[in-house]
Structure formats: structure tokens, C-alpha cells
Amino acid sequence: MITGSLTIQRLLAGMKKLDASDLHIKVGVPPTYRIGGLLRSVDSPPITEDEADHLLDPVLTPVQKERYENGGNLDFSTHLPDGDRFRVNMFRSGGHTHAAIRRVKAEIPSYEQLHLPPIYSKLVTENTEGLILVVGVTGSGKSSTLAAMVEQINATRSDNIITVEDPVEYRFVPKKSIVSQREIGIDVVDYPTALRYVVREDPDVVMIGEIRDQATVLAAIQAAETGHLVFGSMHTADTMQAFSRMLEFFPRQDHGFIRSAIANTLRAICAQKLLLALEGFGAKVVPATEVLIGTPLVKEKIREGADDDLPALINSNTGSDPGEGMHSFLLSLASLVKKEAISRAMGMDHAPSREALDSILKGVEVKASTLVSRLKKPG
């Protein structure tokens, strides 16, 4: 039971103490943390309507409060004195305030800490221009992955890095590079406005927090076409959905132009999903990954509209360590099971094809074309 008054500062501090990834504030239930992927309620009385409506007042600016009152939704970030940052989404439900709060640790994580495969670092090392997308569903670790990739540049290259985020999550400390971070709603009104001027700010690297509409797709492509390295995130489950989503933002008569532009600029699409790790692995969650690299053949298929040929190319790497290059979720899951990072049952639950994963785990050599045919079957 929590004694004393319920304050947002105490609840945020509790996230660090309990190593919680998220905090949910909802009328009628106690504050609820997500710990190790599972929801756990605080041992306290349910939050009242009045508490919910005013709990976050201490961390809101007058401008933010007005935006929330007018729109019923608000994204912003806040932090504790120790540097831990939190991404907050406030929303009105049933006439009262609810909130979902994500903890963002002050330290920018490394690839090793995130358990990402070597190809992620290789993509940054080998590219100084073009478009790299990190995609996944909500809570899949996209922001942390993007931060690790940008931090690699910050630590190793003398570049001018400009980020546009809603909200800013990780704060970069300039090292070899210089970094400007623009936050939507504080530094600039919206993504289209920020991206309209970004190429005039002499950037080498541009990071777009979320590519969410036609304007941001065009801005990302145009920045990449003019010699910049552009990072961005999208809310899609895998690499193929990311490609399809970009096309969906445009009328069909423009698809030829967009395909050509994507083919000219694409360096990679990196998809990921977080899975519960086995006890003793050294982390609570581990990412399963899928990486589509913009090779000449991949670009040709994109330009020609031969999307159905891309899964076979993604599955073409059947080496001992698929994380060294282009690879599918299926091969990533097989690697994680073999490394005892996740259970076989976990791998099967998330496999695009249980039959195909079973064959790989049994050591049966499976050609890419066979894998694709099995992926098209149910189960």
C-alpha cells in the first residue's frame, strides 16, 4: 500500500526502482506498471476521477495544458533530476484524463545492450547518404534502436545531426558530431514545417522520429536524394508492410514515381519485435529482427513493382549467423532459439511459419524459395 499522497514524481521514481518500462494511469484502477512485459498494479486504492484529471499537472507547462484541454490528446516528455526521461501520452477517455508513460533511460543504449545483430552497426558504418527505416509495432524498441544508430555517428564522425521528434526521448551529448534536436510542439509546430526547412540547416544526418504521412515520406526521400543520411521510424509489423505503407500514402498514379524514388534512396528497412527472453539470458526482452537491404537486385524489384520476389531475397541468407546481413524474422527467431535467448515455444508462437522454423531448428537445409512457399501456408 502506498502511504501518503499519490504524486506523479513518486510514480515515475517507482518505474526506475522496479525497472518498469511503462506506467498506465486510468480512472477506477490503481496505477499500473509494465514490468518484464507483464502488467502489475500498485498496491493502492483505485485512482479517482479528480486524481486522474490533476495527477500530471506538476509536469505540464501552461502551453501543454492548453493544447491538451483543446485537443484531448497530448504527447510530451518529462524527466527526473537524475536524468531519466519519460515519454508521456495523455488522452481523454470517458471525460477524464488517462495516460500511458514510457520510461526512457538517460543513457543511450549500445547495440550490445539492445542485443541487436551486427548488421545494424554495419549499415551505419557503410552509408553516408540514403534512407534507413526502423519499423515495428508500438513498444518494439524502435526509438532505442534509432538512438543507438545516431549515437554511433555522433561518436565516430564529424557530422551535423538534426533530429525532429515528437517528443524528444534520448538527449544526445555532442561528441565528434554536433547535434540539434527539435521537438514538435515546443521548437516547431509540426513535422511538415520542420522538414520543410531541415535541408537548409546544413545537415549531414537527419533523424525523423516518425514517418506518418505523405509529407514526411516525401521529405525523407527528398533529403536522402540530396545526399543526406536519413533515419526514420514507422509503425508497421515487418519490412514488406513498411514498403506497402509508404505507397499507400500516395494515389496509384504516383506509385511509379515513388517506387523509383524509394529504389534510388533506400539503404535498408530494419523491422523488429521484442520477445520475452529466457531466464538467465541477461535481459528481460530480446529483439527478433528482419532486415531488407537495398541491394541492386532489391532496388530493381522495387522499381519494377516485383514485390512478390522480395521475400525470397530476404530469406536468401541461410548462413550460420543471419544477423550479419539481410535476413528474415524466421531466420532471426531460429538464431535466437539456438542461442537459448528465447524458448522454442516462444519462437514458434511468433514464427511466420511454424513448419519452416521447425525445419531450420532440426538442421534441415531449406532453400529460400521453399521457405517463401511455406510462409504462404497457414500456420
Is the separation of the CB atoms in 177 and 153 below 8 Å?
A: yes
Distances (CA, A) of 181 to 2, 148, 308, 323: 37, 15, 38, 31
Instruction: Give kind and range of the element (H or E) at residue 313.
Output: helix 310-314
Residue 365 has pLDDT above 70, yes or no: no
**If we measure between CA atoms, which residue out of 292, 302, 253 comes closest to residue 272?**
292
Cβ neighbors of 320 (< 8 A, separation 6 or more) are: none
172: its cell numbers:
544526445
Is the separation of the CB atoms in 61 and 23 below 8 Å?
A: no
Helix, strand or coil for residue 206? strand
Residue 16 has pLDDT above 90, yes or no: no
Q: How many helices (H) and strands (E) does the chain have?
A: 16, 13
Q: Using one digit for the tens of pLDDT, what is the confidence trace for 103-144?
A: 987 789 999 999 999 999 999 999 999 999 999 998 899 999
Work out the number of other CB atoms within 10 angstroms of the CB of residue 41.
12
Residue 368 has pLDDT above 60, yes or no: no
Which residue type is seen at 251?
A: P
What fold characterizes domain 8-104? Answer: Beta-Lactamase (3.30.450)
What pLDDT score was predicted for residue 3?
Answer: 43
Residues linked to residue 162 through DSSP beta bridges, in sequence order: 180, 206
Residue 53 has pLDDT above 70, yes or no: yes
Helix, strand or coil for residue 159? coil
Which residue type is seen at 87?
A: R
Q: Using one digit for the tens of pLDDT, what is the confidence trace for 316-335?
A: 876 657 778 999 999 999 99
In the chain, the N- to C-terminal Cα span, in Å, equals 45
What pLDDT score was predicted for residue 2?
Answer: 45
The answer to whether domain 8-104 and domain 111-375 are alike in fold is no
Residues 9/15/21/24 CA torsion (nearest 10 deg): -60
Domain positions in the chain are 8-104, 111-375
Helix, strand or coil for residue 137? coil
Share of residues in the chain with pLDDT > 70 (%): 94
In CATH terms, 111-375 corresponds, of 3.40.640.10, 3.40.50.300, 3.40.1180.10, 3.40.50.970, to 3.40.50.300
Q: What is the mean pLDDT of the chain?
A: 91
Residue 244 has pLDDT above 80, yes or no: yes
Note if the pTM is more than 0.75. yes
Report the phi/psi class of residue 221: left, alpha or beta, with left for phi > 0 and alpha for psi in -120 to 50: alpha
Q: How far is C-alpha 194 from the chain's CA centre?
A: 20
DSSP β-ladder status, 229-234 and 205-208: parallel
Distances (CA, A) of 240 to 13, 135, 166, 258, 288: 39, 10, 25, 15, 16
